């Protein structure tokens, strides 16, 4: 393996592992010790402003509504999410973030924003474009080679 390929491999593996560890540590050491990274990503999928249907959130996370129901039940108990019936169609269940959920969302969003800013700091416009193209290539490889959709294996 040539030196560049070896270095890129090491950096990708280390960066991936570091992101997961840092994200989990940030959650465990902050005000949100009671939620997991998966639950934070569920909060992220619900979003800040508009209530969403369970189906919309499940589709974004690429999971079943049944799986999402379990996650939402836990987040409701922990007071990050509230569930309501739709005013227009009482059969539809809407979920939205509570004040506590919105704070968790903002902290998670800031973590990602800081990470991206640090990644592109000092890069020229051309270098940024090269980085974007490289990450698009990597993303396409994973999605095509491993039949992924939103980071999860398609059935």
| Domain boundaries defined on the chain | 3-121, 122-155
pLDDT of residue 104: 92
- Residue 4 corresponds to which tokens in the numbers above? 């560049």
pLDDT at residue number 135: 92
Backbone phi and psi for residue 88, each to the nearest 5 degrees, phi listed first: -80, -35
**CATH class of the structural domain 3-121:** mainly alpha
**C-alpha pair distances (Å), 42 with each of 16, 63, 108, 128:** 20, 11, 11, 29
CB neighbours of residue 52 within 10 Å: 19
The answer to whether 81 and 101 are in contact (CB under 8 A) is yes
- Print pLDDT tens along the chain (155 aa): 688 899 999 999 999 898 888 888 877 777 788 998 899 999 999 999 999 999 999 999 989 999 999 999 999 999 999 999 888 888 888 999 999 999 999 988 988 899 899 999 999 999 999 999 999 999 898 888 877 665 555 44
* pLDDT given at position 154: 47
Cβ-Cβ contacts under 8 Å for 86 (sequence gap 6 or more): 53, 92, 93, 94
- Inter-residue contact 75 to 39 (CB < 8 Å): yes
């Amino acid at each position: 393996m040539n030196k560049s390929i070896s270095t890129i491999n090491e950096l990708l593996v280390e960066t991936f592992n570091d992101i997961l560890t840092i994200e989990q540590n940030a959650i465990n050491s902050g005000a949100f010790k009671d939620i997991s990274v998966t639950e934070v990503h569920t909060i992220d999928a619900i979003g800040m402003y508009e209530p969403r249907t369970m189906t919309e959130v499940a589709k974004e996370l690429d999971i079943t509504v049944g799986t999402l129901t379990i996650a939402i039940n836990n987040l409701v108990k922990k007071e990050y999410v509230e569930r309501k019936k739709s005013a227009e169609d009482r059969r539809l269940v809407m979920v939205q973030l509570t004040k506590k959920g919105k704070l968790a969302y903002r902290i998670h969003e800031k973590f990602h924003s800081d990470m991206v800013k640090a990644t592109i700091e000092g890069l020229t416009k051309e270098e940024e474009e090269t980085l974007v193209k490289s990450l698009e290539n990597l993303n396409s490889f994973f999605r095509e080679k491993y039949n992924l959709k939103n980071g999860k294996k398609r059935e």
